[in-house]
Amino acid sequence: MGLGAARKTMVVTGAAGFLGSHLVDRLLDLGHEVIGLDNLVTGTLENLATAGKNPRFHFEMHDVRQPLRVHPQVVFNFACPASPVHYQYDPFFTLTTSVMAAQHLVELARSTRAVIVQASTSEVYGDPAVHPQTEDYWGHVNPIGERSCYDEGKRCAETFFFDAKRRWGIDARIIRIFNTYGPRMALDDGRVVSNFVVQALRGESLTLYGDGNQTRSFCYASDLIDGIVSMLNPASIDGPVNLGNPTEFTIRQLAERVVAELGGELTFKPLPADDPKQRKPDISRARALLNFDPKVSLEEGLRGVIADFRPRVAATAAR
C-alpha cells in the first residue's frame, strides 16, 4: 500500500493533539479522506482549525476506550496523553487508553482488514542500558513507577498488535517515537522544549533537573510526520520502527540555545524519579525501510516553536 495510490479513507485518533493534528493536515494535503477522533481530554479543536475548512475532513468526539464505529482503510492511533504532566494526572485513564484502544483496533482490523499504524514511544526502552537504542533492545523499565502508566501501557499495546499479527495476520505497523517538538505543543505539557520556551518568553529562569547533562534527541514535527506517512509505503513491515532525530544534545545545551534566542538564566532542581539519563534513536531501520532522514536543525526548529508560542504566551499573560 503506497500513499501515491488512489484516495483512501483514513482515521486519526487523537486528532486534536499536537502530533495528531499535524498528521491530519498532511494526510489532507496528500488528498485523502480523513476522519479525526478525539475526546479532547488533552487535545484542542484550535489545532484542527485548518483541517476544519477542508470538506474531506470529518471530526467526531470519541473515546478510544469504546469500540470504533468506522470502516477506514487505515487507522493512525495517536490517542493517549503523551507528556508526563498529562499522563501522570490520571494514570488509570492513561493506561486504559493505550490498552483498550489496542484491543478495539485489533477487533477493527480483523473485521475490516484496515492497516493500523500504532504510535508507540521511546519510553518503552525505559532508562536504557543500551545506547543508542535499537528496535531489538527490550528496555530497562520500572513496571510500578510513576511513569509506568504510559510506558507499560504502550508496551502492552505493542504486545496486543504483535500477537494479533501472529494469530490473525492483521497489518499493524509500530512506530516508536522519540522526543518531538514543534508548533501546537501545549504550553503546559511539561515537555522540556515547551517548558524552556515558555519560561524564557515569560522572563523566568529556565529550570533544569539534575545537572543538565542527561541527553535527548529532538525531532521537529514536520520531519516526524514525513516518517509517519512513509510507514504506509512498504508492502509490509514486520517489527517496530524507531522515528526521531539521532542528533544528541544535553538538556543544558538545549537550554543554552533557548537562552541564545530569548535570553534568561538557568536554575537547577533534583532529577525526577525514573527520568532517563540518555535517549537517542538508532534510525538505521527507518532509513533503510522508509528513506527517513530528519532535516530540520534544532536552531531552526526552536525558531518555529518560538514563533508559535510567542502570541499564545502573550495571550495567557493578558487574561
**Residue spans of alpha helices (H) in the chain:** 18-29, 84-87, 91-112, 148-168, 192-201, 221-230, 251-262, 284-290, 298-318
Q: What is the pLDDT of residue 6?
A: 74
Give the length of the chain.
319
* φ, ψ of residue 303 in degrees (nearest 5): -65, -35
Using CA atoms of 27, 33, 63, 95 in order, give the dihedral in degrees to the nearest 10. Answer: -30
Active-site residues, by number, are 150
CA separation for the pair 73, 109 (Å, rounded)? 9
Q: From CA 251, how far away is CA 253, in angstroms rounded?
A: 5
**pLDDT for the residue 271:** 81
Superfamily of domain 9-318: NAD(P)-binding Rossmann-like Domain (3.40.50.720)
The whole-model pTM stands at 0.94
What is the SS3 assignment for 146? Answer: coil
Most distant CA atoms of the chain, gap in Å:
56
Strand partners, 177: 121, 243
Calpha distance 127→279 (Å, rounded): 8
Q: What is the pLDDT of residue 247?
A: 95
First to last CA, the chain: 49
Structure confidence at residue 316 (pLDDT): 87
Where do we find the cell 493534528? 21
- Pair 109, 164: CB distance under 8 Å: yes
58 with 36: CB under 8 angstroms?
A: yes
Domain spans, the chain: 9-318
Per-residue pLDDT of the chain (319 residues; tens, 9 = 90+): 454 467 899 999 999 999 999 999 999 999 999 999 999 999 999 999 999 999 999 999 999 999 999 999 999 999 998 888 888 899 999 999 999 999 999 999 999 999 999 999 999 999 889 999 999 999 999 999 999 999 999 999 999 999 999 999 999 999 999 999 999 999 988 899 999 999 999 999 999 998 999 999 999 999 999 999 999 999 999 999 999 999 999 999 999 999 999 999 999 998 877 677 888 999 999 999 999 999 999 999 999 999 999 999 998 887 6
Q: For residue 36, give the nearest of 19, 50, 54, 48 by alpha carbon.
A: 48
